[in-house]
């Protein structure tokens, strides 16, 4: 494992210390988990952007045109909050 010196504003560090204590983990563990979560979100965003760049609207329309126009199966009906 590597280390990296990190300077944080005092008020932010205090809040992070409290969050770590509330979670029952060390400050280092909390920071590593928070950074890993942010990295995971950035990876997902990058992946979705690559998918979006490849999106073919015409191909999508053709696929949708092949979907049969039938009533939903029992239990799959949209409720009033979803519509």
Per-residue pLDDT tens over the stretch 41-72: 999 999 999 999 999 999 999 999 999 999 98
Structure tokens at 36: 């890993």
CA 45 to CA 24: how far, in whole Å? 30
For residue 80, name the pLDDT band (cuts at 50, 70, 90): low
What's the whole-model pTM score? 0.67
Write down the pLDDT at residue 50: 97
Composition of the chain by helix, strand, coil, percent to 5 = 60, 0, 40
- Tell me if 65 sits within 8 A of 50, measured CB to CB: no
> For the chain, what are the domain ranges?
28-65
């Amino acid at each position: 494992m590597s280390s990296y010196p990190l300077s944080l504003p005092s008020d932010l560090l205090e809040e992070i210390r409290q969050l770590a204590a509330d979670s029952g983990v060390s400050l280092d563990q909390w920071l590593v988990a928070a950074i890993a979560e942010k990295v995971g979100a950035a990876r997902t965003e990058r992946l979705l952007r690559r998918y979006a760049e490849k999106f073919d609207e015409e191909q999508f329309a053709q696929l949708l045109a092949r979907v049969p126009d039938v009533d939903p199966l029992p239990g799959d009906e949209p409720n009033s909050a979803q519509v």
